[in-house]
Structures are given as structure tokens and as C-alpha cells.
Structure 1
Amino acid sequence: MRAILASLLLLSTPISAVVAQDQYQTEATHAVIMDFDTGEILFDRNGDVAMPPASMSKLMTVLMTLEAIRDGQLSLDDELPVSENAWRRGGAASGSSTMFLEVNSRARVEDLLRGIIIQSGNDACIVIAEALGGSEEAFAEMMTDRARELGLESASFANATGWPHPDHRISAADLAELARIIIADHPELYSLWAEREFTYNGIRQYNRNPLLGVFSGADGLKTGHTEESGYGLVGTAERDGVRRIIVFNGMGSNTDRANEAERMMRAAINDYALYDLFDAGDALEAQAEVFMGEAETVRLEVAEDVQLALHRRARRNMTVSVAFDGPIPAPISAGDEIGRVIVEVPGQEDREFPVVASEDVAQKGLMGRIGAAIAHMIRGN
């Protein structure tokens, strides 16, 4: 049977504390806060629900470009042709966010990256898409396939720009993971995301990210807005070696987005912390009962490091226990997995980590097993 052996941490606050007090509150329809180092979701509101991401999906277009540069398919100095299609659907003629590329001109890849990241240029996205995929439609399929390879299961891209389309969707959690991949895998060009302005074709445009220059340590990533999606942001900041990623969508105005960006990032940095609960090999006070063993119990230890990022108030309401299906039949070898450390935080899913035996326990000899069986029958359990 399943047995909870012992509480491993003394708590200063009862579990009856109101769960909502331990959670960030937001008017965004979709939101997550992610710890960069662990990838753990610290706060989640509809974070796994696929949503229209608007220009935030340009993160995937940029990632595809960065991977093409890494793989030698493109270089920063390559000049790509600006088709009439890219100009008409994403340039000045489109009335949408644009880099103001001229039709039938050529643009350097490095400038196109700045045009996407800083100016949110739809024309730059289409130029990249046509260069790498032959057409924007084919490139969108490539984006979706690559996203699935990366484990971004909610992602479905219909274009390179984020233009509204019923099949163009991704969750806030997957956008956060996408940002994490860009930061971790492409540090050589990551500084582009922090640039405040870019002038191309004589036209100066400013980065729309409301965190840049306002929140110390902020250095990326991308805003988004359509009538369907509302106002959203994928943002990140690093302070004192701690980096957080925030994603939210569905705000009602540009001002609302700016206010929420600063408020959510401040909470992400200040209200959440990483807690080292155990190191691999740490002994537990609890011991597991052994059946038919030369010892009646076996000592337990944690099999891997246990590190969690939690809201500081939620930490006070956390409980940690160890559970197993027992008693454990002998023989037992040191390192055998025989249980789980269970971390419970009100309002969050339980998390489990493996527990192993710290020592060998041999099986009783024949006479010992007979005696134990007789005793078991007498006790009736």
C-alpha cells in the first residue's frame, strides 16, 4: 500500500492559507512566468492553451534564421532579394508593421534580423521566408515542423509574420520555451534584442518592447498585437545572475501592456526564488519497512538534486514527504528506486522525485522466511 512516512520540513504557516495570496494576479488572458535556468513555470494562467500570438510568433522566424546562419545556409552579409510579394504584403504598401524595404532591392541578413526584432517588419519576415522556404507557405510548414522537433507541441504556424489566421497558434508556455532556446543557443547575436532603435532606408524606428530602458536588466524580446490577440509581450530580464522570462497576451491597450510588463517582470524577479531542497545522495530521516529482509528497515536517500522555483509566499505553504508502495520485499540493492519525494504546493501540481535505497538488504534465509511467514499469518496482515 502507499505510505506517507514523514514530513521532511517544518512549516511556519498552515496549509489553510489562501492559495490566491500565493499567486501573481493578472488581467492578461494568457500568461506564464518561467525561470530561465530550470525552465520551470513559476506562474501559469492558461499557459498551455494555444492562442493567437500576433508578432510574438516572429520569435520562430528569427530562430529559423539564426539556425540557418549557424548551419552555414546563410551569413549575416548575404543580400536577399525583396520580392514584389514581400513588398506588397509586408512593406510600405501593406499598411502593417514594416521595415520599409524597397521592391526589387536586396537587403543584408543582419539588417533583416534587426528589421524583424526591432521594427517588427513583416516585409523582412517574408524575405527571410522566401529565401529559406521558397515561399512563405512552405516556410510556415518548416516553422511548425521545427517547433514540434523542439517540443513546442502547441505550435502551428500559417505564416512568418504573425498575421491573423485561424491556424496560427502557440501557447504562452511554448513561447517562453522558444525564448529560452534563443537565449541559450544563440548568444552571439542575442544582443540584437536589446537594441532600442534601427534606421533603415532613412527611416528610424524604435523597439516596441516597453521593458527596454525602463526595467533594469531587461534585454528582450518581442511584442505582439492584433485585434484578435490583444496586446502581448515575450519579455526577459536578468539581475544578479537570475534570469526570468515572462509571456502574456490579451491586454486591452499599449499602455496596459507597458504597465503589465513592468509589474509582471518585477514580480518574476523579486517574488520568486530558487530553493535547493536536496542534493543527490542526501539521506532522509524516513526509513522504509522491509519484507523478508535481514534488516527490518532500509535507509533512504534522494536520487537527484531537487531544486524548485517558487513564489516566496508559496514556499511557506509547501510540504515535502516521501512515499512508497511497501513494505519493500528483500533483497534490496543500494541504488534501487523504491519511492518518491513528493513536493506539494497549494494551487500547483505536485512534483515527484525518485528515492533510492542507501544500502543493501539481504533476504532472510529459509528458516527466517518461514518464521516471518508464520508471524505474518498470526498477525493477519
Structure 2
Amino acid sequence: MKLASGIAFAPLLALTATAVAAPPPFETPAPVAFMEDLSSGAILFAKQPDYRMPPASMAKMMTVYVAFGLIKSGQLKLDQKFTVRPETWQRWHGPQAGSTMFLSPGEQVSVSDLLAGIITLSGNDACVVLAEGIAGTEPAFVNLMNQQREALGMRNSNFGTANGWPDNGVTYVTARDLATLAAATIRDYPDLYKQFYSKPNFTWGKTMGGAAITQDNRDPLLGRVAGADGLKTGHTEEAGYGFTGSAEQNGRRLVIVLAGMHSVNERIQQSVAFMNWGFSAWRARPLFAKGKRVTTAEVQGGGTSSVGLVAPRDLAVTVPLGAAAPGGILGQKAQIPAPPMKVVYDGPIKAPIKAGQHIADLVVQGDTGQQVMPLVAENDVGEAGFFGRVWASLKALLGLA
């Protein structure tokens, strides 16, 4: 849920503020760097996060996101096959085509293999074959990419190709928007993300001598940082070397974006150092256990007048290491005061409501600024019956509501 003007503020217990600790220092030669803790919504580092830049192959994350959505909705099957058009092969093979999956003209390739070719091998050819197979033409598929961009709120990005190939500035992104896309991929399609994004290598195509071609995943975190499982590198002369990555350790999931670096080795070194800093220099401070009721929200037109708002998972605020002694989950004995927080939602919330439905957000004032975490309905709330609606109308008329 996005916070907006005119939202209703639900009351929460008055909490004592803690002293704000200085963020731990980190320096990187990368011109663009961004880090978000998805577990708390905390922005841990931001260096030119809204600078518009060419994404190179990091644009392929949106191609994959569109495909994942179609797979989840049943409109696309993993075993469905698309034919490599001779014209597409002609354009996207050889040294001039950049990274390829080594597809052959007339070859039939499954969606599953094309996704592996895009994610693991960064195949420019695989992207275009998938785009044409799904939408008929690459421009038609790019329209789907931009529809998803708008839906995700990526306001400073635009896509002109399915693979991020340089297109005179039509395609551009920001680090913040790439982090949004990475987070959406992990959140919306967790099973597909797990299936495809952490493959160490993939084999497709044959050499002139008939030997199978195996290429390694370029992800600089895989095998170097515990819990690393995605996402995508990118490189062109215009963009330099970039990377959008994610890893999860002890319940904390971080997303990083680095861009504009000068070499593969610099990308590896900076990506590993950046992610390790995110896990070692910050920690999670528990707030609410999974299922704990935080507060209640007013319900309009329901069988009951309110619904409990509960934590859908263990909720924690991200704080610098050593900022304060570890505290207990709220409701238990804590060693330090809790940070200031409030619950926000578009209210009153209208029935019907399903248990587990995301209907509010917990906004915590942490050391990094506001950290936003979801709250869900504690139980179902059905619509009010006839007499309930009459009574609600009467109360509103008499000013009793």
C-alpha cells in the first residue's frame, strides 16, 4: 500500500523515542549506489538514487517480470515453445550482438529455457525471441514492460527494448526504480524467483566442433555472499558495469544497486563489499511478532465496526549495529524504549475484508528515516446485513457514527 495525502491515522500506544544513531559509514567509487532493507523498508544507502541512466542488461529484469506475471496468471506456460525467427537470429548472433544464448534459426525453445537464457546467460537473443513469442513483436512486448513500469510506480524509468540494448536514450532507469523492480519480483513471484534467479550456470547451444556451450551466471554475489540469490548484471560502453542484487540472511533481505563501474573486477569487489556492509553494519531490532495485534481499524459497512491489524510476519526496525542494546518484541519485556511509530491506512476501510488482506502500514521513525511495513486484517469481516446498514445510516444521520 502506498501512503497518500488524506490518509487516516489510527491511534497507537504512545511510545518513547530513542536517540537517533549516526548511520555507519560506507564509501564506494561507484557513481550510483542504493541499498534497501526489504524486511523493514529502510533505505540504508543512497548515492544518486534518482539519476536517470541506461540500464544495459538490468532492463531484462522487467522482461522477466512481465513473463513471470503471465506464467502466474496461466496465460503463459513454462513448457510452451517459441520458434527462433531467422530475422531475429540474424540480428542477435555473433560478436556484434553482445551476450547471447547461442540460439539457432528455426529452433524451438521453451519459455523455461528462454528464461534461463535471459537470467543466467543474459542472452540478448533470448529476450527478443521471448518478447516476439509473447506479444508478436518486440515493440508490442515493450508496451507490456512499460505498463508494468507504471503499475509499479517506476516514475523515472522507461523501456524501449526487451534487452536493454542502447537505443539513443529511449531506455533509462534509476537505481531506486531498479530496486523497486527487484523487490516486486521477489515479492510477487517468490517461487519463480527461486527457480530461475540463482542458477550458477546454464548449458545451451554448441560450438562449431559440436561441443555443448556452458556459461556461468555473471552475478557477482553468487558463491561469495551467504544467502545471495539474484538478480542481474549489466554492461555497455555507455552504461559501464552495473548490478542489481539481493541476498537474505537471518530473516533480513537486502536489495542493492550499483552502476557506472569500470570493470568486471570492480563490480565484483564493490558488490560483495556493499552487501557485506549491509548485513554486518546494520541489524534488525524486533518490534512485533507474527500474528501480534498492533491496533484496530474502523470498518465501514461491515458486520463489525472494526478489524484488528496484525503483523503478517515478524516485524523489525533496521538500526545501526551498536545503536542500542537488543530489545524484546513489543508486548514482552524490552531493554530499550521503542521508536516512534504510527499506523496509516485509507479509511474507513470498506467491507468485505479477508483475513490476511493488506489494509494498513506500520510507519516507524528509525535511524534511516521512515521505515514502512505492512499490516494485515486479523479476521474476515463480511458486509453488514439489511438492518445493520439501516442502523449505520441512522447513526450517521444522528451524528453518532
Report the TM-score when normalising by structure 1.
Answer: 0.71
The residue number in structure 1 matching 2:184 is 181
The residue number in structure 1 matching 2:209 is none
- Output the CA distance in 2 between the equivalents of 1:7 and 1:239: 29
The residue number in structure 1 matching 2:208 is none
Match of 1:312 among 293, 304, 321: 321
Does residue 199 (structure 1) correspond to residue 207 (structure 2)? The answer is: no
* 1:2-151 alignment runs, 5 A limit: 8-9=16-17, 11=19, 22-92=24-94, 94-151=96-153
The residue number in structure 2 matching 1:230 is 240
Which protein has the larger Cα radius of gyration, Structure 1 or Structure 2? 1
Percent identical among aligned pairs is 38
- Output the CA distance in 2 between the equivalents of 1:322 and 1:213: 38
Q: 1:100-152 CA deviation, whole Å, 9 max, x = no partner?
A: 11012211111101000110000000011112222112211220111111222
Q: 1:317-376 CA deviation, whole Å, 9 max, x = no partner?
A: x996799xxxxxxxxxxxxxxxxx98474xx556799xxxxxxxxxxxxxxxxxxxxxxx
Displacement of 1:236 in angstroms is: 1.1
Is contact 1:51–1:169 with CA below 8 Å preserved after alignment?
A: yes
Does residue 269 (structure 1) correspond to residue 271 (structure 2)? The answer is: no
Is contact 1:34–1:176 with CA below 8 Å preserved after alignment?
A: yes
- Output the CA distance in 2 between the equivalents of 1:321 and 1:134: 52
Structure 1: state its 5+ residue gaps.
1-5, 283-302, 324-340, 354-381
* 1:340-379 alignment runs, 5 A limit: 343=365, 345=367
Amino acid of the structure 2 residue aligned with 1:200: W
The residue number in structure 1 matching 2:331 is none
For residues 136 and 311 of structure 1, do their structure 2 counterparts lie closer, same or farther at Cα, with a shift above 3 Å needed?
farther
- Output the CA distance in 1 between the equivalents of 2:91 and 2:242: 23
Displacement of 1:98 in angstroms is: 0.2
Is contact 2:242–2:267 with CA below 8 Å preserved after alignment?
A: yes
For residues 320 and 159 of structure 1, do their structure 2 counterparts lie closer, same or farther at Cα, with a shift above 3 Å needed?
same
Displacement of 1:173 in angstroms is: 1.4
Does residue 217 (structure 1) correspond to residue 221 (structure 2)? The answer is: no
Amino acid of the structure 2 residue aligned with 1:310: V
Is contact 1:344–1:350 with CA below 8 Å preserved after alignment?
A: yes
- Output the CA distance in 2 between the equivalents of 1:76 and 1:42: 37
The residue number in structure 2 matching 1:171 is 174
Aligned residues between the structures: 303
Q: Which has the higher helix share?
A: 1
More deviation in 29-38 or 193-202? 29-38
- Output the CA distance in 1 between the equivalents of 2:341 and 2:144: 45
Amino acid of the structure 2 residue aligned with 1:64: V
Is contact 2:202–2:216 with CA below 8 Å preserved after alignment?
A: yes
- Output the CA distance in 2 between the equivalents of 1:47 and 1:344: 20
- Output the CA distance in 2 between the equivalents of 1:134 and 1:233: 30
Q: 1:30-75 CA deviation, whole Å, 9 max, x = no partner?
A: 1111112233322111112222111011100011111111122211
Is contact 1:223–1:234 with CA below 8 Å preserved after alignment?
A: yes
Displacement of 1:207 in angstroms is: 0.5
- Output the CA distance in 2 between the equivalents of 1:121 and 1:10: 50
Structure 2: state its 5+ residue gaps.
1-13, 206-211, 296-308, 326-336, 343-362, 374-401
Task: Quote the RMSD (CA, aligned, Å).
Answer: 3.1
